[in-house]
Amino acid sequence: MSLIKKAIDWGTRKSPWIIHFNAGSCNGCDIEIVDALTPRFDLERLGILQRGTPRHADILVCTGAVSLQTKDRLKQIYDQMPEPKFVIATGTCACSGGVFDGCYCVLGGIDRVIPVDVYIPGCAVRPEAIISAVVKLLGALEAQQKGGGKDAERRSDYSTVGREIQSFEG
Amino acid sequence: MTEYNRVVIPIGPQHPSLKEPACFTVTLEGEKIVDAVIGIGYNHRGIEKACESRYYTQIIYLLERVCGICSHTHTTAFCQGVEELAGVEIPRRAAFIRVLVAEIERLHSHLLWLGVAAHEIGFDTMFMYTWRDREAVLDILAELGGNRVNYSINTIGGVRRDIDDSLKQDILKMVDALEEQVKYYRELARSETTLAARLAGVGKLSREDALKYGAVGPVIRASGVDFDIRKVDPYAVYGEIPFKVVTDTHADVFGRTVVRVLEMLESIEIIRYCLENMPDGEITAKAPRRIPAGEVISRTEAPRGEDIHYIRSNGTEIPDRVRVRAPSEANWHAMKQMLLGQYLADVPITIAAIDPCFSCTDRAIAVNSGRETELMDWPRLRQYSVDWYKKRGIDVSSVKMPERRSYF
Ligand code: SF4
C-alpha cells in the first residue's frame, strides 16, 4: 500500500468531512443533524466536520424524499464529491419516501437517484441514531481498509445495516 | 453606472449557510446589492394535493411534516378548522395543552433561530450555547409526545397526550433554568457592543414596507407593528391568558433578535400560567368521521408569524381542498426590500433574520429554471490541473487519484 493511499485511508477513517443536503425534507431531520454536531451529542469528537462545499466532503448526509426539483442538484452534488465518497440517507422519507410517498412531486427515497451506503430510519431520526450510523459506516470502512480492499465483505457489512432497517420497519 | 459594472452572483441551491435549498441571484455594484431574485420551490413536495386523497386523521400527520420546526402550529391550525366545520367544542384542558405545547415549541424555535443567526455572523460560541439550552426544551417535548421533533399532540377534537404531575414539575424546572439563560441572552443583546454593531442597520424594513409587503411575525413586530394572531384573533385559550405582544422599533436584524429574545420570556410566562390554571377533565371530544360540507379559514401564530389554513369539505371523510399559507411565504415578499442596498456580506444574516422555512414555503410554488449547468467532474478537473502545471514546467501526471471502488 502506497504511503499516499495509507494517508488517505487514515484521513477518511479518522476525520470524515460531511456535507448536508436537503433534498425535500420537512426540516425535522436536518435540525437533528445539526443537533448531532452541537455540544450535547458532539459528533465532532469523532473528527467529523461539516463543510460547505461538496468538493471537500467525504460523506453526503441527505435528508428528505427527493423532489423533482432537487433531483438534478442532488446528482450534481454527488458527482462533485471526490472519491472515496459515501452517502447516508437520514430519515424515513430519505430511505423510502416515507410520509410523502405518493405525492406528485416526490420521486421517493434517495437511492432512486444516487447509491446509498447507510440508511437511518426514523421520523425524525434521533441524533443517537445518526451517531450510530456514522460509527457503523466508519467501522465498516476500517474493516474494509484493513482487509485490503475485500469489497465483498464490506458489501455484506452494508447489507446488514440495510437488513436491520427493514426488520425495524416491519 | 453602466451595466458592465455589475456582477451577478448566484447563491445556492445548496449552500453552507442555510439548511435548506433555495437559490438567490444577487446583482452587485461593487459590494452593494442592486437587485435580487429569489428562487424557491426546491422543497415542493405536493402536500396540498396529497391532502385531497387522505383521511382527515391521516392529514394531521402529513401536515405536521410540512415543517419539522413548527409542526404543532400547522396541526393546530388544521384541527381547529376541522373542529369548526364539524361543530366540535374541544375540552378546556385540551385547549390549555395546545397552548402549552405551542409555547414550548416557540421556545425551541426561537432558540434555534438565535443559534443560527449567531452562527451566521460568526459568533459560534453563542450558537453552541443556545443549541445546548434548546436540548432541555426538546427533552420536554420528547417526554410529552414521545418524539423530539414531530410530537403529534393534536388530534381532531382535542389532544392525544395528557400532562401529569411529574411532567408538570419537569416543565417548571425546565422553564426556570431556561429563564436564567434567556435573561442572559437579553443582557448580551443589550450590552454586547459587537453584536449590536453587527446587526444594527442590517436588513432594514420600514414600517410602511412591512405593511405593504405583508410581512408577519417577528419581522413585522420588529418594524413596530403589534400584529400577533394570539391577540388579534385569539384561538384556543389565548383570549384569557395575560401576555404582551413584543414589538420593537429598530426595524432591522437587531430588532428582530430583540423581539425574539423577549418573546421567549413571554412564552415562559404563558407556560407557567397554563400549568397553574389548567382545569382537570377530558382531553378529547368525540369528532365525527365525516366532516359536514363547508369551508373554513383557521389562523394560528406560528413562531415565524401568521399561519393560515383553508379547508373545504364536501361532507365525506376526505377534504376537497386544503391550502396552507405558511408564515415564511408571507415574509419572502419583503426579502428583496431588505436586501437592496445592503452589502453582500450581509446577505446570509438578512436571509436568516426572517427565519425562513423553505419546507413551509415550498409546498405551494413550483419553479423550474430549465437551465443546463456545466459540471466539471474529477477526471476533468484533474486534467485541467495537470495542464496548468505543465505550462509552468511541472509534471504531476504520475500522481494517481483514488478511484471509485464499487461499494455495491
Ligand atoms: S423523515 Fe420525517 S422528520 Fe425526517 S425529514 Fe422526513 S418527514 Fe421530516
**B377 — pLDDT class (breaks 50, 70, 90):** confident
Asked if residue B156 lies in contact with residue B57, where contact means CB atoms within 8 angstroms, the answer is yes
**CB burial string A93-128: b at 16+ within 10 A, e below:** bbbbbbbbeebebbbbbbbebbebbbbbbbbbbbbe
Nearest-CA residue of chain B relative to A22? B20
Query: Is the Cβ pair B45, A40 closer than 8 Å?
Result: no
**Cell numbers placing A122:** 426514523
Query: Is the Cβ pair A28, B408 closer than 8 Å?
Result: no
Please state the ipTM of this predicted complex: 0.80
Mean pLDDT, residues B307-321: 89
- Alpha carbon nearest to ligand 1 atom 8, residue: A26
Nearest-CA residue of chain B relative to A107? B45
Q: Is B149 in the pocket of ligand 1 (CB under 6 A)?
A: yes
Q: Does B402 touch chain A (CB under 8 A)?
A: yes
Asked if residue B247 lies in contact with residue B222, where contact means CB atoms within 8 angstroms, the answer is yes
Q: How far apart, in whole angstroms, are the C-alpha atoms of residue B58 and residue B318?
A: 10
Q: How far apart, in whole angstroms, are the C-alpha atoms of residue B138 and residue B52?
A: 32
When scoring B15, B19, B135, B380 by the number of chain A Cβ atoms within 10 A, the one with the most, hence best to mutate, is B19
Q: Which residue has the cell 411529574?
A: B166
Query: Is the Cβ pair A151, B66 closer than 8 Å?
Result: no
Whether the per-residue pLDDT at B299 is higher than 60: the answer is: yes
Ligand 1 centre and the CA of A27: distance in Å?
Answer: 7
Q: Is A97 in the pocket of ligand 1 (CB under 6 A)?
A: no
Single-letter amino acid code for the residue at B222: A
Q: Please give the pLDDT value at position A25.
A: 81
Residue A103 has its nearest CB partner, among B49, B150, B404, at B49
Q: Is A123 in the pocket of ligand 1 (CB under 6 A)?
A: yes
This model's pTM is above 0.90? no
Chain A: nearest CA to B20, how far in angstroms? 6
What number does CATH give the domain B47-352? 1.10.645.10
Asked if residue B62 lies in contact with residue B50, where contact means CB atoms within 8 angstroms, the answer is yes
Which residue, A26, A31, A92, A109, is CA-closest to B324?
A26
Q: Is A61 in the pocket of ligand 1 (CB under 6 A)?
A: no
What pLDDT, in 10s, does the model give residues B110-132? 998 888 888 888 888 888 888 88
Which atom of ligand 1 is found nearest the CA of B65?
7
Chain A: nearest CA to B3, how far in angstroms? 30
Q: How many CB atoms lie within 10 A of CB A155?
A: 15
What pLDDT, in 10s, does the model give residues A16-65? 888 888 888 888 888 888 888 888 888 888 788 877 778 888 888 888 88
Whether the per-residue pLDDT at B77 is higher than 70: the answer is: yes
Which atom of ligand 1 is found nearest the CA of A25?
5
Ligand 1 centre and the CA of B69: distance in Å?
Answer: 11
Q: How far apart, in whole angstroms, are the C-alpha atoms of residue A122 and residue A90?
A: 8
Query: Is the Cβ pair A83, B401 closer than 8 Å?
Result: yes
Nearest-CA residue of chain A relative to B382? A82
Whether the per-residue pLDDT at B280 is higher than 80: the answer is: yes
Which residue, B209, B311, B301, B192, is CA-closest to B254?
B192
Query: Is the Cβ pair A84, B405 closer than 8 Å?
Result: yes
Q: How far apart, in whole angstroms, are the C-alpha atoms of residue B256 and residue A1?
A: 57
Ligand 1 centre and the CA of B61: distance in Å?
Answer: 11
Q: What is the DSSP string of B323-341?
A: EEE-HHHHHHHHHHHHHTT
**Cell numbers placing B309:** 389554513
Q: How far apart, in whole angstroms, are the C-alpha atoms of residue A91 and residue B125?
A: 28
Chain A: nearest CA to B24, how far in angstroms? 15
Q: Which of B21-30, B90-99, B295-304 bottoms out in mean pLDDT, i.e. has the lowest?
A: B21-30
Domain ranges within chain A, ordered by starting residue = 3-166
Domain ranges within chain B, ordered by starting residue = 47-352, 371-408
Which atom of ligand 1 is found nearest the CA of A99?
7
Query: Is the Cβ pair A28, B45 closer than 8 Å?
Result: no
Could you give the dihedral angle defined by the CA atoms of residues B197, B203, B208 and B214, in that order, rounded to the nearest 10 degrees? -140
Residue A27 has its nearest CB partner, among B47, B61, B67, at B67
Which residue, B221, B346, B281, is CA-closest to B91?
B281
Domain A3-166 adopts which CATH fold?
Rossmann fold (3.40.50)
**Cell numbers placing B317:** 371523510
User: Which helix (DSSP H) or strand (DSSP E) does residue B35 occupy?
Assistant: strand B32-39
What pLDDT, in 10s, does the model give residues A107-158? 888 888 888 888 888 888 888 888 888 888 888 777 777 765 444 444 434 4
Q: Please give the pLDDT value at position A26.
A: 82
